[in-house]
Amino acid sequence: MIETEVVIVGGGPIGIEVAAALQELGVSYVLIEARQIGQTILDWPRDTKFLSSPERDAIAGVPIQTRHQDMLSGEEYLAYLRTVVDTLGLSVATYERAVDVRGSLGAFEVRTERPGGGETYRSERVVLATGDMSEPKLLGVPGEELPHVSHRFVEPHRYFRRRLLVVGGRNSAVEAALRCFRAGADVTISYRRRELDRKRVYSRYHLEIGILIEKGKVGFLPETEPVEIGRSEVVLRGADGTTSRRAADFVLLCTGFSADLSLFRAAGVSLSSEDLEPSFDALTMETDVPGLYVAGTAANGNRRSERLFIATCHVHVERIARSIAGRETTRAGNAPRFRYAIASEDIDTH
């Protein structure tokens, strides 16, 4: 049994930032991560760039400086996270999965599993920063498990001179389509809506894919969705209920991801019936289980409208630190000269 004041579950950027804030304020903590720090970003396609600027993705008061003064790649950001953890000397237990959370303020027990055994932590408080992209959303159609079907885009080379059907119409799908087209794939997009929405797709991606579709370089099948995947073709259903077949050597399902809310359920946190959004006090980020807090994109549950990002979650760290320690932290967001308030509305309107 290990005793500490706070157990933080989740080693993404915001979980790391919570650890930095608590350390600054003299609160003992342990940060537990099921795999490696920044795992969601590690799972990104190679060389994917952030859509937000470096000063908004910086954490714990440690600025990000790059040679190109442009958006960071996932690989660059992982190097930055390692630097933050090492520079601040944060306590992080990686490849240790939290499997159960029980208790209330002053008397929590967090049980974990890791190679060779497990551990039980006793703490006064718990912070769940487990993110909202744990598992891909499955379509539940026949053939989804076939080896040429993937829910994660890793890199474009494997699709060179092969027929690729990309399913989806948001940033991840459009970026994959663009990169695979440039790598020499014969790309077609299947999307359940009539057109690609400018509000759902990064402006540069929207412009580029629009030109390629108009010129006939990338196929576009609007108002369609897969109902069966075979080894060399996909059966698509249209808005009118009729079906058609599309030849495909590979299928990339960019249909989004779901949050793992099992720890919230185990702890007894109330989840909304529609989006499974955890119940919490927006002023403190404390859930309806006293002493248990939510931080970062985990506060979304599985909500897809008004989504949270690293850039809009630094305030979670400030609120949690203030609630736990009764004092303000400087270990949230970037260095002072780069700090400026930002909300989801700012991102949506620009």
pLDDT of amino acid 257: 92
User: CA torsion angle for 11, 302, 43, 151 (degrees, to 10)?
Assistant: 160
Q: CB neighbours of 216 closer than 8 A, spacing ≥ 6?
A: none
Distance CA 178, CA 196 (A): 14
Per-residue pLDDT of the chain (350 residues; tens, 9 = 90+): 899 999 999 999 999 999 999 999 999 999 999 999 999 999 999 999 998 889 999 999 999 988 888 899 999 999 999 999 999 999 999 999 999 999 999 999 999 999 989 999 999 999 999 999 888 999 999 999 999 999 999 999 999 999 999 999 999 999 999 999 999 999 999 999 999 998 889 899 999 999 999 999 999 999 999 999 999 999 999 999 999 999 999 999 999 999 999 999 999 999 998 889 999 999 999 999 999 999 999 999 988 766 788 989 999 999 999 999 999 999 999 888 787 776 666 655 44
pTM of the model: 0.92
Residue identified by tokens 């190109």 is 68
94-147 pLDDT, tens digit each: 999 999 999 999 999 999 999 989 999 999 999 999 999 888 999 999 999 999
Q: Which domains does the chain have, with CATH numbers?
A: 2-134+259-348 (3.50.50.60), 137-253 (3.50.50.60)
Distance CA 186, CA 182 (A): 10
